[in-house]
Amino acid sequence: MKLYMTPGSCSTAIHIILEELEETFEAHVVNLPAGEQFKPDYVAINPKSTIPTLVRRDGTSLTEVPAIAYWLARSYPRARLWPNGIESECRLIEAMAYVVGTIHGQGFARIFATSTFARNPADHDSVRDLGRDIVAKGFAILNNTIETGPYLAGDYSVADAILFYVEFWADKTNIALPDSLVTHYMRMLARPAVQRVLREEGYNTATLARFSRREDQDAG
């Protein structure tokens, strides 16, 4: 298989899932600032010009983070990365959709791609502030969801890799995480697959979880 990805983006979630599965694949970096997602060769693979794209062994392309995550989980049932039971399944779909569609698509998108929401530079600060408000509300909601268990479904699942990428963005942008999400983020950072993926994507894991270290210093 081939994963078309951008380091440090939402595609990191799929990279982590593939690493958890110990699946062999080719990684192809798509340089978004350079506009590589709009080049004809990539558009032929993914007409949406988005990342990630997973090209499967039969040559077909699958896009959208929740869809790729779900397909991988169901295609490798022995890995137990997807729960049993309609209620648990629906709750995970609900969480994945909320992370990608709202926390990422409405919140972080306003922070990272402000000009796509407001052409007038004078409006950019208010757009970014709204983005941070959306992210904070989203984290508060998911904090209540996860506070009773170590992971979103109790046991580890593909949805945790999706939650991780927005926690990772919060770490990089100095956005506070509520307590249960800090715990989840630290637990994810300790997973060997996550460590490997972050190193492969060019990150020094020793510099992450800065908010956690700041809280420790404040407590001292």
pLDDT value at position 216? 46
pLDDT value at position 211? 60
Tokens of residue 36, six digits: 């590589």
pLDDT value at position 131? 98
Question: Residue 3: which residues within 8 A CB-CB, separation 6 or more?
Answer: 11, 14, 15, 18, 25, 26, 27, 28, 52, 53, 54, 55
pLDDT value at position 9? 97
Contact 152, 3 (CB under 8 A): no
- Taking residue 70's Cβ as centre, other Cβ atoms within 10 Å add up to 20
Which residues is 53 bridged to in the sheet? 4, 63
The Cα–Cα gap between 161 and 13 comes to 5
Tokens of residue 171, six digits: 């770490």
Count H helices and E strands in the chain, helices first.
Answer: 10, 4
The Cα–Cα gap between 15 and 29 comes to 12
Chain CA centroid to CA 74, Å: 19
pLDDT value at position 197? 97
pLDDT value at position 4? 98
pLDDT value at position 56? 97
pLDDT value at position 183? 94
Domains of the chain and any CATH numbers: 2-79 (3.40.30.10), 86-219 (1.20.1050.10)
Per-residue tens of pLDDT for the chain, all 220 residues: 999 999 999 999 999 999 999 999 999 999 999 999 999 999 999 999 999 999 999 999 999 999 999 999 999 999 999 999 999 999 999 999 999 999 999 999 999 999 999 999 999 999 999 999 999 999 999 999 997 789 998 899 999 999 999 999 999 999 999 999 999 999 999 999 999 999 999 999 888 886 654 444 444 4
